[in-house]
Amino acid sequence: MFEVLEHPADIGFRAFGATLPELFANSAVAMLTIACELEQAAPREEYAISATGSDYESLLVNWLNEVLYWFDGKRIALREFRVTELEPDSICAVALGEPREVERPRLKVVVKAVTWHQLRVAQTENGWLAEVYLDI
């Protein structure tokens, strides 16, 4: 579903998806898996999340920044994502998760932000891939 990419100071991931909605969902899971022990979060509540952009790249950055804001600002750990609508300039999704507690899910690293550095969204033989670097 995703693999970690090395960077001298920060960290990145390469996510895969058979379809674009799956790619966006997997990218969000990849980012939060880098940030915390995501399996400790129970997918017990539903949250509606959306973002806009001007192309798939900017949409992906804005989407991930939205998910990060929910995690670090609203303090909700989102475990699963069901993308309900995806256009080149907008995304709507239902996310399953729960409010964060002090030690659950356990934090691995503070993800400060999603960067545009070497950002990639591309179609492959088997579907789609995205490469994203995070500032940590």
Partner 1 sequence: MPHEIQIEAVDGLRYRIARDEGRGMRTDVVVYASEALMAQIRKDLSLEQAMNVATLPGITGPSLAMPDIHQGYGFPIGGVAAMDFEDGVVSPGGVGFDINCGVRLVRTTLAADDVRPKLRELVNQIFRDVPCGAGGSGFVKAGAKDLEHVLRDGARWMVENGYGEERDAQFAEAGGALEDADPAAVSERAKERGRPQLGTLGSGNHFLEVQFVEQIHDETAARAFGISAGQVVVLIHSGSRGLGHQVCTDYVAEMNKVMPRYGITLPDRQLACCPISAPEGQAYLAAMRAAANFAWANRQGIMHFLRGAFRRIFGDGAHLDLIYDVCHNIAKRERYEVAGRKRDVLVHRKGATRAFPAGHREIPADYRHVGQPVFVPGSMGTASWVLAGAEGAMRETFGSVCHGAGRLMSRTAAKKGRDAQYETQKLEEAGILVRSESRDGILEELPEAYKNVDEVIEVVHKAGLARKVARLRPMGVIKG
Provide the binding-site residues for partner 1, judged by CB under 8 A.
Answer: 4, 6-11, 54, 57-58, 61-62, 65, 69, 72-75, 100, 102-103, 107-110, 112-119, 133, 135-136
Query: What are the tokens at 95?
Result: 């996310």
Q: To the nearest whole angstrom, how small is the minimum distance from the Cβ of residue 125 to partner 1? A: 26
Q: To the nearest whole angstrom, how small is the minimum distance from the Cβ of residue 109 to partner 1? A: 5
Which of residues 42 and 110 has its CB atom nearest to partner 1 in the complex? Answer: 110
Which of residues 39 and 103 has its CB atom nearest to partner 1 in the complex? Answer: 103
Which of residues 44 and 74 has its CB atom nearest to partner 1 in the complex? Answer: 74
Cβ-contact 114, 134 below 8 angstroms? yes
HSE-up of residue 51 (Cα within 13 Å, Cβ side): 23
Q: Which amino acid is at 111?
A: V
What are the residues facing 70 on neighbouring strands? Answer: none
Which of residues 92 and 136 has its CB atom nearest to partner 1 in the complex? Answer: 136
Q: To the nearest whole angstrom, how small is the minimum distance from the Cβ of residue 80 to partner 1? A: 22
Q: To the nearest whole angstrom, how small is the minimum distance from the Cβ of residue 73 to partner 1? A: 4
Which of residues 88 and 127 has its CB atom nearest to partner 1 in the complex? Answer: 88
Q: To the nearest whole angstrom, how small is the minimum distance from the Cβ of residue 108 to partner 1? A: 6
Cβ-contact 71, 41 below 8 angstroms? no
Cβ-contact 23, 15 below 8 angstroms? yes
Give the C-alpha separation, 50 to 85, whole Å: 9
Give the C-alpha separation, 47 to 135, whole Å: 25
